[in-house]
Each structure stands twice: as C-alpha cells, then as structure tokens.
A and B are shown apart, each in its own frame.
Chain A
Amino acid sequence: MGVRRIDWELCDGCEVCVDYCPMDVLRMDRETNKVYIKYLRDCQGCFLCERECPQDAIYCFPVRERRIPLAW
C-alpha cells in the first residue's frame, strides 16, 4: 500500500521517513544504517515518506494491495 521501494544506495539512514510515517511502517536497521519496510500491510499510502526523504531514496505507488470492502 504505497511505499514500494527504498533505494539503499541513496538511503543515508537519517530516519526522517521513520519519524514521519504515521503508521509506523518503516524501521531502521542499526547494523546497516538503512531504513527498511517492516509493516507493509499497514502502509496507508500517504506518500509522506517519499515527499520528506532528503535523499529521494523512497518510491511510492498508489496501488491498493490490501482489500478494503467498497460501498457497492
């Protein structure tokens, strides 16, 4: 749902995206000093992580991967 890719070549481990994510989807790997997607199913597709990443390391796409029952 939203966040699709974090480019570890570009990620410098600043954690801005971790700080911003309202749904606590992203976490920091202390060994590599890189951010990874831990709880993909809970991503709400808001694109904030991509927007705020200073390194342009994050790519989001507005696909809905988790079924949400519709009104009709």
Chain B
Amino acid sequence: MLQVCKGNVGKSGCSAFAAGFFNVPLPTDDLDAMFKDMVRDGGYLRMQDRVQDHLEQAHLVMKDMMSYGVDFVRKDSGELERVPGWTRDLGLMFNGPNLMEAMRKASLEKGVEQANRVMVTDFLTHGGRVVGAAGFGVMNGEFHIFKAGVTILASGMCRYKSLPPGQRDTTGDGTVAALRAGATVCDTESDFSLNNAFVAHWDIGPGMNMYVGQGGRLLNGLGERFMEKYDPIRKDRAIAGMRCLAMGLEVRQGKGPIYMDLTHLDPEQVGRIKKALPLASLMHQRAGFLVGDRFVKPIEWMITAPHAQVGLAVDRRFQSSLPGLFACGESAAAQAMTKSLGCAATSGVTAGVAAARYAQEAGEPQIDRAQVAEIRERLYQPLQRKDGIEPDQVVLAVQEVVAPYTVLLIRHGERMKKAIAEVEDILKNQAPLLLAYDHHYLRMAIEASSMAKIAELQLKSALFRTESRVALREDYPYTDNVNWLKWINMKQEGEDLKISTEDVPMGRYRFHPERSEHLHPLWQAAENIGAINIEKGAVSWA
C-alpha cells in the first residue's frame, strides 16, 4: 500500500489544519434526530443510506483513531470532553495538527509506504479500468508512474486558494485528473457548506466551529446580532452554508461589514479555543486580537470563495464510475456525506475496505505505455515554454470570477453566464500558456489550471439547477421538491462537458420532504424583514 501526496502525508491538506473539532455521534446520542438534521441540512440531496452508515460507524472509527494515537481532549476526570460546534451536535476537541500527525505515524507503523512531494496529475487507465496514477516530484521534477490494483482518491476539494490559511493547497487536481480519465462528478454546486468564513484582512484561521461553539457572535456593521432572523433556533451555530448566506444577505442589504465578536468569552472558553486551535490562537495574538486570555475587540470577518466540493459520483461503498477508482473525503460527492473530519474518516474506512476487496478480485493491472508517454509529454509543457503566463495571473483571474458572493452564493443566471464566459476564456486563452520556471512553478501552474476547470464545473452545474436549495437564486427563489430532487452529474466527453440529472432515489429512503414548491426559508426570512419582494417569481430587492 502506498500513499502519494504533493505535500507531505499528514502535514498538508485541509485535515492537517482542521479546526480542532471532530464531529462524532456516540451511540447514546439521539441518532434518529441527527439523521433527520443531516438529511434536511443537505437539502434532501444526501445519500441517506450513507448518512446511516456514518452515524453507525463514527464512534467505532473514533476508537480506531484513538488506538492509533490520536489524542482527543479529555476532562480532568479522564472522560472525553465534548463541546458544541455548529448545529446542536456535540463534538470532540483535538489539538490542531496533532490529529493528522498521529495518523501519519500510524500509517507508517503499519507498513504503508509514503511518496511525499509527488504531485499526481493523471490516472492511468487500461480497458476502462483505473490501474494507477502518474505524476512528478515537485522538488526534483522526477516523473513517476504508480501501477495499482486499486486507487483511492483522497485529495480533497478546491478552495480556490482563498482566505483559509492552511487550505491553499487544495485545488481540485485529483478531480480534474479523474474527469480527464472519464469519471463522473456529482453536484459540484450544492454542497451544504458552500462557503466558510474567516478573518477578513489577516491570514488567521481555522476555527469557525470552535468560535461559535464557545459562544462567538456574528455582528453586522450596525453592531446587531443577525443570525436569529435567519435561523431562529440555531442562530450563530447554524450550519456553515446557512451562516454564510445570512452574512451575504446582510451585506446585500447594506448592513456590512460582518464581525465575529469573541470579546465576551471567559478565560475558560478562550482556554478551550487555545487548546484546540494553537496555531490560530498564535495568529490572533500576533495580530493583537487576543491578549492574554481575552479577545479584545470584534474582528472583521469575510466569507471565503466557494468551497468547491467537486467530488466524484460514488456509490455507498465509495466506488466511482470508473472501475478501480474509489474516492473518499471531500474527493467524493458532498451527497455522500463526506464533509467534515468525522464524515471524511468514516468515508475513508468504507472506501478502504471496499477498495481492498476490489483489489483482491481484480486481475493484474496492465500499463498502457502510449498513455504514459502522452501524459509525460503534456505534463512538462509549462517548463518548456520560453514565455507565457505566470500561475499567479491565472489564480487571480479565477478568484476574481468566483469570489464575489453574488456569483455562487446569492446567484442569478445572468451573473453566472457572465462568470462562465470569463472562466471559459481563462481555460481557452490563459491556461494553455501557463509558464513554469522550475518544478515548484510547475506544481503551481497545474494547480492554477485545475482551479479554472473546477470553476467551470461548479458554475455550469449551479446554472443548471434552476431553484434555491443550498444556495439562493434570485431568479429561482423557490425550493422545488417536485422537479429538483435530483443530482447533477457531469462528465467530460472530448471538448464537451456533458450534464445530466439523476433522481435522488427517494423511494428507498426513509426521510422525505413534501413534494411541493416553497419559497426558500432564507428568502422567506428576507421577505419577512422587508429586504426583498417576490415579483413575477423572482426576487426584487427592496
């Protein structure tokens, strides 16, 4: 078994910088209520059999992780300390990057090999089956091919190199490689947590879960708490997507900017934050927001560029549409309940077991030498150009398209069409000219190119969904449970991106919404406070 990572296994990617909060239900919790929350929060688009699997497996996976050396925070009594995060669920705390460090060491102790600083750019296929991967060393440029009986994609989503420190290496490269190999991606635009929010003008993070869990309050530019208007029950602890939509609605009404107020937290609460978020706490101290055991002023916050969970369409075992390729964590579709550390962990266990069975039963993989030669030729092209476009230019161009909250968070068809035209221009006229001065820049060039492709996938899928569900559309403000209980699948066929829908199999699921259309609850809230009117089936701002 081999792990391949463009950074260093366990020291890079989102999990290494997760916010100190591990959401794991215990058997003594009200699992039925959690199940309903998870399905409802996912807009009824989630694979309910997978939600059930997660709830049943999570505490067992947590015990496995503890046996590997993951050190969850305990009370003085020795009992595991459970703290609130977003939603009503309780989670466990862990000490920043130590979680993934423990997993990395456990992996090595079990004899797993690790190829660090190797960026996978392509999957190898033979007869329609994925038989391994190809890539290059980001420090020395060496070309690598990996022949594999089965491959699991776990490279995460795309965060467009946006605000979160520690998450600017998740650029969707794995998804783009899988798409090129013929895989189907699913629902790239309807992740229940489309954005997150971080400190606006400093590189400080992560921590949303811990801050709101410990009592952090969001304020608008008038100094008003506003979350109660949009989620009267969970308020500031609403799910991330809901919270970001509410922030966007406040700003759209001219009530920005948005602040996170932690000044009322007592030393015990701040102590918990410091324990779970040692790096973010140090950043806060350096910036002067945290002095001793007190936050001294409200901090301006901002929503991030969209989290593009352009995951692969998978079944309950996390098998993708390509034989020999599995996907887990945020590399699998959001509908497979893979977001957040706890969900990613259970998805990894399920995918790992299924992949091992596949490898036992599948025959010896065969490598297509002509394909390897084609990949090698294409891969190094940015290094061979004498002149061209620096990766930074493409990164910035993509960010300028997707970052404004009025594109993919509060949406309108016309704005998205304009954004698609801009991304298509980047893909057609800029990405092919990407220039790399050395192998580090080659990595950056491929990441920039991946980001542009991910933006295309996300925008086209978002335009296709003509309703408001996990995001808001001004031109389609209703949640349409008659026509849109569907997943949107996308597949690359030559130059064309084929879009199709697949009915969510509600017939075999146990939790159903009413089959009707209704004004999205956030649009309803906005209408109730006089911020909008619905005219001719669309939103009109007051």
Contacts and interface: CB of A to CB of B under 8 A. Distances in A.
Interface of A: 1-2, 19-24, 38-39, 41-42, 44-48, 50-51, 60-64, 66-72
Interface stretch (B234-242, B281-289, B373-381, B486-494): B281-289
A39 B304 CA distance: 24
Contact of B8 (A20, A41, A61): A20
A62 B287 contact: yes
Q: Which 9 A-B pairs have the closest CB atoms?
A: A22-B12, A45-B203, A46-B166, A45-B165, A44-B168, A71-B405, A22-B7, A69-B403, A62-B283
Contact of B396 (A69, A70, A72): A69
A22 B286 contact: no
B11 A68 contact: no
A23 B403 contact: no
A71 B443 contact: no
Contacts of B201: 64
A6 to B, nearest CB: 17
Contacts of A71: 195, 248, 302-305, 403-405, 409
A22 B282 contact: no
A39 B440 contact: yes
A44 B396 CA distance: 15
B391 to A, nearest CB: 9
B443 A62 contact: no
Contacts of A42: 440, 444
A41 B440 CA distance: 12
7 contacts: A41-B392, A48-B11, A51-B97, A51-B278, A51-B282, A72-B251, A72-B256
A23 B138 CA distance: 10
B17 interface: yes
B302 A47 contact: no
Contacts of A39: 440
B166 A22 contact: yes
The B interface, classified by DSSP as helix, strand, loop or mixed, is loop
A22 B305 contact: no
Nearest to B206: A46
B36 interface: no
Interface residues of B, number: 50
A15 to B, nearest CB: 12
Given A24-B138, A71-B248, 18 more contacts: A19-B11, A21-B7, A22-B16, A23-B168, A42-B444, A44-B165, A44-B166, A44-B167, A46-B279, A48-B279, A62-B203, A62-B204, A62-B287, A64-B202, A68-B162, A69-B399, A71-B403, A71-B405
Nearest to B199: A62
B11 A64 contact: no
B293 interface: no
A1 B164 CA distance: 12
Contact of A62 (B162, B200, B286, B303): B286
A20 B11 contact: yes
B241 to A, nearest CB: 14
Nearest to B391: A42
A69 B400 contact: yes
Contact of A46 (B165, B286, B392): B165
Interface in B246-290: 248, 251, 256-257, 278-279, 282-283, 286-287
B165 A47 contact: yes
B287 A22 contact: no
Contacts of A67: 396
Interface string B395-435: 01001100111000100000000000000000000000000
A64 B203 CA distance: 6
B111 to A, nearest CB: 21
Most chain B Cβ neighbours within 10 Å, of A19, A46, A60: A46
B122 interface: no
Nearest to A51: B279
Most buried by A among B11, B17, B165, B302: B165
A22 B204 contact: no
A72 to B, nearest CB: 5
Nearest to A1: B203
B169 interface: yes
Nearest to B5: A22
B51 to A, nearest CB: 30
B455 to A, nearest CB: 13
B139 interface: yes
A30 B426 CA distance: 39
